[in-house]
Amino acid sequence: MDLIEQLRIFRRVTESGGFTAAAEQMGVPRPTVSLAIRQLESRLGTRLLHRTTRRVNVTPDGELLLERAAALVADSEELEQLFRPADQSLQGRLRVDLPSRIARRQVAPALPDFLTRYPGIELEIGSSDRLTDLVREGIDCALRVGEMEASSLVARPLGSIRLINCASPAYLDRHGVPRQPGDLVHHLAVNYISSASHRAAPWEWMADGARHVQPMPSRVAANNVETYIACSLAGMGLIQIPAFDVREHLEAGALVEVLPEWPAPSMPIQIVYPHRRHLSPRVRTFCHWLADIVTRECLERQVPADEA
């Protein structure tokens, strides 16, 4: 095994926190990972990791190597790709994490074109509504919706997602149509449980340039967007949802927009990746492709001045 591959494995072990996790993320047997680390330590003549039964910790020499390994691996990948034919210039596995609805509705249908253009790339897509740890789980990049908390991640802002209020006709027949925020006290919501706080998100709206918040009574809550929408379709209450997520339900009449003058604040969306000085060409290419899809399918449309 060459030095660059040993360094690549070493970085993944330190990022994931263990040999087993690194092996799973790289798609190789665990003994291969163990052998690579032993060979690297023997080659360099120093111990790089302290092993325990639960986790590995980086030694001071390992920390020093880690600072140089990222640049060496990235430069090696770029050098290897420099003389390949255009259709073979991007190679390797990408691990990405996407919100479930965007993964299913926007990204998956467009993947055949991407994989045809880049036949050397293998994608592993995680799609859930939980907040993943990119470094610990070995994820190359992720799409995040909402305000970002302070972290070491690098964020590429893409724009804002417009949210709307809606409910099913069956619900509105039973409870009436709310005409203003004061009517909400007579209504039920399908509450959404945040994966970050594990609490129900309150109902929000903008009025006179200010953000207003009100907890809503609810008989059902969900921590997954698919379930959240399904409960509203079943007549369980009002929801606040990105407009693109329910476009077909609105067009079919299965959901009806309410309180259009009092929408929730728009939500920022960004591509994030671990804080690295070098990004591999395949990660940069995928991020650019993903940004195009999100911009086209999910973001608020900017109305030209002559249309306003």
Which range of residues forms the domain containing residue 293? 86-161+268-297
Please write the tens of the pLDDT for every residue from 231-247. Answer: 999 999 999 999 999 99
Answer whether residue 307 is part of any domain: no
DSSP 111-162: HHHHHHH-TTEEEEEEE-SS---HHHHT-SEEEEESPPPS-S-EEEEEEEE-
Answer whether residue 34 is part of any domain: yes
Kindly state whether residues 182 and 109 are assigned to the same domain. no
pLDDT at site 77 = 67
* Residue 42 buriedness (CB in 10 A; 0-12 / 13-18 / 19+): exposed
Please write the tens of the pLDDT for every residue from 70-87. Answer: 777 777 766 666 566 554
Kindly state whether residues 247 and 167 are assigned to the same domain. yes
Structure tokens at 283: 């990660």
Q: What's the pLDDT band for 270 if we cut at 50, 70, 90? A: very high
Kindly state whether residues 173 and 253 are assigned to the same domain. yes
Q: What's the pLDDT band for 177 if we cut at 50, 70, 90? A: very high
Kindly state whether residues 187 and 144 are assigned to the same domain. no
Answer whether residue 304 is part of any domain: no
d(CA 201, CA 244): 20
Answer whether residue 256 is part of any domain: yes
Kindly state whether residues 106 and 178 are assigned to the same domain. no
Kindly state whether residues 117 and 196 are assigned to the same domain. no
Looking at the structure of the chain, the number of domains it has is: 3
Kindly state whether residues 90 and 18 are assigned to the same domain. no
Kindly state whether residues 222 and 282 are assigned to the same domain. no
Please write the tens of the pLDDT for every residue from 104-138. Answer: 989 999 999 999 988 888 898 988 767 777 777 77
pLDDT at site 154 = 84
Q: What's the pLDDT band for 185 if we cut at 50, 70, 90? A: very high
Q: If you average pLDDT over every residue of the chain, what do you get?
A: 85
Kindly state whether residues 56 and 178 are assigned to the same domain. no
d(CA 38, CA 61): 15
Beta strand 49-51 with 163-167 is unpaired
How many CA within 13 A on the CB side of residue 4?
10
d(CA 160, CA 6): 41
Tell which of 31, 51, 82 closes a domain.
Answer: 82
Answer whether residue 212 is part of any domain: yes
Please tell me whether residue 101 adopts helix, strand or coil conformation.
Answer: helix
Kindly state whether residues 189 and 142 are assigned to the same domain. no
Q: Which of 141, 185, 187, 68 is nearest to 289 (CA)?
A: 141
Q: Provide the percentage of residues in the chain whose pLDDT is more than 70.
A: 89
Answer whether residue 155 is part of any domain: yes
CATH code of residue 204 = 3.40.190.10
Q: What's the pLDDT band for 150 if we cut at 50, 70, 90? A: low
Residue with tokens 């059902």: 220
Kindly state whether residues 33 and 182 are assigned to the same domain. no
Answer whether residue 305 is part of any domain: no
Mean pLDDT of the region 199-221 = 91
pLDDT at site 78 = 66
Cβ contact 269:299 at 8 Å: yes
Kindly state whether residues 138 and 115 are assigned to the same domain. yes
